[in-house]
A and B are shown apart, each in its own frame.
Chain A
């Protein structure tokens, strides 16, 4: 009897007490997972394999990989050129990141729920998701219409994507800040900009730096692709030349190694920065 009183308003199914209720969100998540699972399972059966000569395909794949990664060599370009081109790629990524980060900061303080009115916040969020939904390459090609194919279009396109990404990341960092410190400053008559620069910024600085550097790493990768796809120059363009123009897999391998080493160095630096900032 006591039981029935206790269980009033509680969901019970097959004699078991449910610890959660089915909401719209959980139903959606489940539907997505089920759909993806089914799709992954039946997908491979829908492809056409008849034209493939399996032994040859496998042999050449490994042969190509061997040429690339076990016998790397510079033929068309020199090591010096490779370094210069990597620096150019880094510069593209750097420019896109810095410009994007600058704009993002201002967009993020107008997006964070604890700093901005909901209407403005939602408008920027919607605007940003549209930007993010279009791939970087497409943005670059769109900018290429006015700027011409090349570095300018590449930087603009990458910047736009960076902006949309960092705005979200920054805004979330701002929302993490304890409401109390902001409340205290508001109560003392501080203006909104005072609060931004003397409370929001110092409290979230380490996150901002860490997000920005993460995006820089990503942009480095994107800049390589843009070098090839949008003729933005840099190591990506050399990679494109040696793979599609000279069919020189040895050089493709060598360039890949160079790009990879730089990526690893960036990763290590990012880790160091993060460690410094977090322990500080």
Chain B
């Protein structure tokens, strides 16, 4: 498919670095799927759908900055939705979100809530001002926050907060956040033999976004994050490159 035109209807400033853009079309997506967002004349980058008709962007570079500065009436091109998305299962589930990683998890929380699932949300950020979707998540379940600087909630990394729960009482874990956080969560789940009931949404460099070019494949499975993922079960990731290295735009390995 070639990009379809989407007109920005609303821009919501979520945190000092993160904005939500709502547009005039609703891609028919399941939670965890992403779209390739074409900022004409600049770049095309992958973004999770945080809303049926919206994305939530952290300003980290050229393309995301241009996106963050867009106003109602501006337009972008969208290809997608692509990727597998989360598999909705479990009666008593834990959502673990770090930073902008909360974006793909918000529609998941909404859908699971509609199914009557009991949800605990662990939301982490560097500092209290950067906590994303705290209020929205709290409508779907019990929420607990952690900040690196202790400005709100638990002072420290999110695995510390996980420690305060009886992890064995959950039957599915959904995780998205910075790579090292996801690795730490995976290791902790593994310690409790729970990695096979976990789903992680990964981030790798995407070029085509549709499973052809090979720039997003992970070791040692050779699976494509854009097509076979971005959501993978913890047991596939246990002995993978997650938290060790990723590849840059040239394909060169970069250690974390």
Asked if A pairs with B, the answer is no
* A→B interface (CB under 8 Å): none
* B→A interface (CB under 8 Å): none
